[in-house]
Amino acid sequence: MIRRMALPAGTKIGRYEITALIGSGGMGEVYLSEDTQLGRKVAVKILNSELAADATARKRLVREARAAATLEHPNICSIHEVGDADGHQFIVMQFVEGETLDARLKDRPVDIKEALNIAVQLADALAEAHTRGIIHRDIKPANVMITKRGEVKMMDFGLAKILSDGVPYGSEAETAALVSTPGTLIGTMPYMSPEQVRAETLDARSDIFSFGILLYELVTGQRPFHGASTAELASSILTHEPPPMARYSHDVPAELDRIVSKSLHKDPEDRYQTSKDLLIDLRTLRDEVEFRHRLERSQPPENKNDTAEIPDVEIKTKVFDKPPATLREVKSLSTKETPVAARRISPWTAVIAVASIGLLSLGGWWLWSRSNQNWAREQLPRIEELAAAGNYFEAYDLADKAEKYLPGDPIITKLMPTISDTISVSSDPAGAEVYLTRFASTAEGKAPSAELIGKTPLANVRVARGAYILSLQKEGFAKIERTVSGTILRGGGLTSIPPPSKLKYDLMPVGQVPEEMVYVPGGEYRLAAWQRPTDNKAKIDDFFIDRHEVSNREFKEFVSAGGYLKREYWKYPFVKDGKPLSWEEAMDQFKGPTGLPQPRGWTNQNFPDGKADFPVTGISWYEAAAYAEFRGKQLPTVYQWEKAARDGRTSPFASCMPWGLFYPGDSLDQRANFSGGPWAVGSAPFGMSPYGAYDMAGNVSEWVLNEGSEGFYATGGSWGDPSYTFAQYSSFPGFYSSDKRGFRCSLVKAPSGDQGGGRLEAVLEIPEYTASSNADFQKWSEAYRDTGPEPDARIEETIDTDDWRREKITYNGADGDRVIAYLYLPKNFEGPHQVMHIVPAADVENGMRSLPTSIESRFGPILKSGRAIFGVVLKGYIERLRPENFVKPEPNTVEYREMVINRVTDERRGLNYLATRPDIDMKHIAFFGPSAGARTGLILAALEDRYVSVLLQGGGVRKTDMQTIPEANPINFAPHIRVPKLMSHGKYDEDTPLKTQGEPLYKLLREPKRMVVFEGGHVPSTEFLINTINSWLDETLGPVRR
């Protein structure tokens, strides 16, 4: 707040007569005054009473002002006197007529030329002060005056600090001077250096930082650091990097951006170390800009507008390494030539001609260079946009082109660490060709071709940041393929740029690597999968594993060679339902409808047409083991398989897949097949494992060698499973087969042990739970009482297909967000419609695929049968991803309870919305919860009385749920679901085991209830699932009206 003038005009302080108040601030008031002795105008700063009363501060201020008075420089406002008269402490300064830089910036923009002139004068003033050991400490536009003649004056050096006094800046509590108010010392927060904000001892480099802020604002009209409060502003100065100046003005020379960026480094050691160095760079740049302006003005009028459209033309200039021929030949002119001709080619004329050619060439080069520089500067916003969107390949390609014309450009320099990576590759022996293939699609949807980047050894080759297939090829040696990635890492709310990729490979002679197998080094290995069958380590030898899953074509060779007829391939005893079978009895199990042994799904020992390169499925563990024996191999052990698939990698922030980390919201496209049926082996090279094996995640799950309590283990997940099943193991009977199950083989040339292939006994601990009381249930239910606002629902989008209409709806959620929901309405059926309300499985819950994809990929037949489907997008789904710094609360915390309450509230408000629609039959609503959706459903269905029927697929409760806070514990709510309930569960469920999780939940549920157990794992076949749902809903909701 500006205070009223304390001293009236005419007041005399010593020999100075007050004329008018011209400014005020935390230090006091500044008056225009008359020096009655010398007859000149001066500015007199009267210190405020609080400061003048502090003897220590007054003495220090007087000492520093006197030191500043020794500064004599045309760009420094001189201090004439420091005095004490008539009860006032005052400083007398030169009176500068003009306007402050602050006012100039508000009045009109400053062009580059003027900005550089101002900056050079200010830097010159700082260099003078710093040379004398004085720092300013309050550099800002308000402390810079510009005279009518354009001269610049740095003001308030009387408030500077002597570097040699050794008094810590913080001892004066000047960091409290966030605004200019009485009782505080100098320091203006938007222009402070990081060391000022931290109250550290200052040196001249603090002024350089403040000068950088001023220069940034002078050029762009924007301050580099922002904050809604002083605390936010201080944090911005300490932690944020300002945007490049070219973002606000494309006329900013790259060198000026570099100068400012260097001045604004957080660490003083990285800034200019002296203001003299800063001045030299600014003067050089100013002179260069002035030269360019003169050159532009000297161009002929007809050429001045040509630069904008000049193409990239090749301009050739000749450099003479000896005198031009014109000079050498002038003395040997033919006698037939006339004197006039001889005079035309005189030496001076030739010199002028050559010089003219040189100038024209130089001018042409300059125009060509200027045109390309303009083009490159125009690309900078697009490069920033691509980088911000994570399109690093495109951003890098454009930046790489622009950098050729803008070397050292600060925007490109600043972005390069984000959009580029460096890769070093060595091999033994050296000389292998190195190819990189980008993880990207062309306009035609094809993967780009491989690019040769050189031969090993390669050091620090710059490439775009992203994922690649790296291929090493050398004649006489086996080809090596790997996925490599410099993708930015995320976790715990932080992002980090991984270190440069340094890769080393040992090449193996062609004859040492079996055809279509990849080499995996051995060693001691412990399983890393989150649902592993054992924590024991195993010693494995170096081994080879099939590059691809065994295909139909390959298995046909086994069949055609009489594989089902030759006992020598069938090494393991046959057991079915706990009873041993003879070889003949076992072979009968594999016979098809025509009496010939073959995989299930084949006809007359032939695979389906067009499926030769698809993985063989419908085979039992025994058949897989026999095929491996036929090839002179064996099934991989769990240790070998996982070593080849993930090499022991884990992360607390993302799922570890064969190719690397998989974050919520990431796409599986071109990586892994977890939906829609199998694809041909090797269809996703970008999903290959650390050792070059394909399809180890998804496509088909794979038999491994080890035997377990229920039979033999399989792992990897399949096209019909959620993606998290890659990290799960489950055991199945040896004669079990499925269209989602296949295998691959392994080979150890000289095994020294069982490679971890022994029996893995899982200890089954079957918990018993006690049903909660009605009184407790009523108490816990109170936490879910919803007193929130009306839904305020809106239909945002409608999509029609031949069979249904999909409406995207938003409404008010539990925590102030707009919730998204999808309502699918069947066509060809009259309303009001019965509704199946879905809470999806963990693949949707964890952001691995969207809710509409989940619904449409499996439940189209439900819609075609006449029932509507409704689903709510909860937080964590792809369309409502949580912030990167989200950390899921522990289940025993209040925060976890609030999270669950919000999720349930969002679902219930969705039902409130449905109740407003005349095309929905609210008396016929069913709940369906598959897998993780069943866990949410146990709470939701217990609280809701609008459900008529409940169906839980692969649901269960875990022993660890006993530690969950009571109000969010599904065990406490399950016994209070009153409507009819159906549980459908796989006998060999690898995610939610039937014995330890499914059956204990079923015991908790009250009647009426029913359980259906099918032969399979966690996810049933679509046919079984749809038939089960429709039959149950017909029974509990009644048939659909047609």
Say if residue 1023 is in the same domain as residue 949.
Answer: yes
Average pLDDT score over the chain: 85
Say if residue 568 is in the same domain as residue 715.
Answer: yes
Q: What is the pLDDT of residue 564?
A: 97
21-30, 140-149, 1018-1027: least confidently modelled range: 21-30
For residue 74, the domain's CATH number is 3.30.200.20
162-166, 642-646, 856-860, 876-880: least confidently modelled range: 162-166
Q: What is the pLDDT of residue 447?
A: 66
94-108, 182-196, 761-775: least confidently modelled range: 182-196
Cα separation of 952 and 931, whole Å?
8
Indicate whether 167 pLDDT > 50: no
Q: Side chain identity at 549, as an amino acid letter? A: E
* Tokens 């091999």 -> residue: 427
291-300, 546-555, 759-768, 1010-1019: least confidently modelled range: 291-300
Let me know if residue 736 belongs to a domain.
yes
Using 50, 70 and 90 to split pLDDT, how confident is the model at 187?
Answer: low
* Tokens 């407790």 -> residue: 776
Let me know if residue 429 belongs to a domain.
yes
511-523: per-residue pLDDT in tens? 999 999 999 999 9
693-712: per-residue pLDDT in tens? 999 999 999 999 999 888 99
Cα separation of 184 and 175, whole Å?
9
Say if residue 863 is in the same domain as residue 965.
Answer: yes
* Tokens 């080890």 -> residue: 706
**805-841 per-residue burial string, b: 16 or more CB within 10 A, e: under 16:** ebbbbbbbbbeeeebbbbbbbbeebeeebbbbbbbbb
229-273: per-residue pLDDT in tens? 777 788 788 878 888 887 777 778 888 989 999 999 998 999 999
Cα separation of 27 and 43, whole Å?
14
Which residues are CB-contacts of 326 (< 8 A; sequence separation ≥ 6)?
Answer: 345, 350, 353, 354
Say if residue 85 is in the same domain as residue 114.
Answer: no
Let me know if residue 752 belongs to a domain.
no
Let me know if residue 761 belongs to a domain.
no
Q: Which of 72, 94, 116 is the last residue of a domain?
A: 94
Indicate whether 303 pLDDT > 50: no
178-192, 211-225, 444-458, 484-498: least confidently modelled range: 178-192
DSSP structure class, residue 197: H
Say if residue 41 is in the same domain as residue 75.
Answer: yes
Predicted TM-score (pTM) of the model is 0.62
From 138, 843, 906, 961, the catalytic residue: 138
Say if residue 251 is in the same domain as residue 273.
Answer: yes
567-583: per-residue pLDDT in tens? 999 999 999 999 999 99
Q: What is the pLDDT of residue 312?
A: 36
Q: What is the pLDDT of residue 364?
A: 53
Say if residue 571 is in the same domain as residue 656.
Answer: yes
Let me know if residue 414 belongs to a domain.
no
For 301-419, list the strands marked E by DSSP: none
Using 50, 70 and 90 to split pLDDT, how confident is the model at 526?
Answer: very high
Mean pLDDT of 629-634: 97
Say if residue 567 is in the same domain as residue 674.
Answer: yes
Let me know if residue 396 belongs to a domain.
no
Into how many domains does the chain fold? Answer: 6
Q: Which domain holds residue 1030?
A: 774-1036
- The DSSP-derived string for 114-125 is HHHHHHHHHHHH
Q: What is the pLDDT of residue 328?
A: 32
Indicate whether 2 pLDDT > 50: no
Which residues are CB-contacts of 880 (< 8 A; sequence separation ≥ 6)?
Answer: 817, 819, 820, 873, 874
Using 50, 70 and 90 to split pLDDT, how confident is the model at 174?
Answer: very low
Indicate whether 1033 pLDDT > 70: yes
Mean pLDDT of 40-55: 80
Q: Which of 291, 317, 348 is the last residue of a domain?
A: 291
3-state secondary structure of 423: strand
Say if residue 601 is in the same domain as residue 704.
Answer: yes
Q: What is the pLDDT of residue 347?
A: 53
Indicate whether 298 pLDDT > 80: no
Q: What is the pLDDT of residue 791?
A: 83
Indicate whether 228 pLDDT > 80: no
Indicate whether 352 pLDDT > 70: no
439-472: per-residue pLDDT in tens? 875 444 566 788 889 999 999 899 999 999 999 9
Indicate whether 180 pLDDT > 50: no
Say if residue 87 is in the same domain as residue 109.
Answer: no
Short-list 460, 480, 461, CA closest to 471: 480
> What are the CA-CA distances from residue 476 to residues 268, 313, 506, 542 (Å)?
55, 45, 13, 21
116-160: per-residue pLDDT in tens? 999 999 999 999 999 888 898 889 999 999 998 889 999 876 455
- Scanning 389-520, the segments in alpha helix (DSSP H) are 392-405, 410-419
225-229, 773-777, 977-981: least confidently modelled range: 225-229
Q: What is the pLDDT of residue 60?
A: 63
For residue 257, the domain's CATH number is 1.10.510.10
Indicate whether 524 pLDDT > 60: yes
Percent of the chain with pLDDT over 90: 58
Cα separation of 265 and 440, whole Å?
36
Q: What is the pLDDT of residue 63?
A: 66
Q: What is the pLDDT of residue 576?
A: 94
For residue 530, the domain's CATH number is 3.90.1580.10
Let me know if residue 409 belongs to a domain.
no
Q: What is the pLDDT of residue 434?
A: 93
Q: What is the pLDDT of residue 122?
A: 96
Say if residue 309 is in the same domain as residue 176.
Answer: no
138 is catalytic: yes
Q: What is the pLDDT of residue 49?
A: 72
Let me know if residue 1041 belongs to a domain.
no
Mean pLDDT of 842-856: 88
- The DSSP-derived string for 892-950 is TSHHHHHHHHHHHHHHHHHHHHHTT-TTEEEEEEEEEEETHHHHHHHHHHHH-SSEEEE
More confident residue, 62 or 668: 668
Say if residue 285 is in the same domain as residue 233.
Answer: yes
777-807: per-residue pLDDT in tens? 999 999 999 988 888 999 999 999 999 999 9
Q: What is the pLDDT of residue 494?
A: 59
Report the sign of the C-alpha dihedral through residues 460, 466, 467, 471, in that order.
Answer: negative
* Tokens 């298995």 -> residue: 555
Q: Which of 483, 512, 541 is the last residue of a domain?
A: 512
3-7, 921-925, 1019-1023: least confidently modelled range: 3-7
- Scanning 467-620, the segments in alpha helix (DSSP H) are 552-560, 583-588
Is residue 661 exposed (0-12), middle (13-18) or buried (19+ Cβ within 10 Å)? middle
Provide φ and ψ at 635, rounded to 5°. Answer: -65, 145
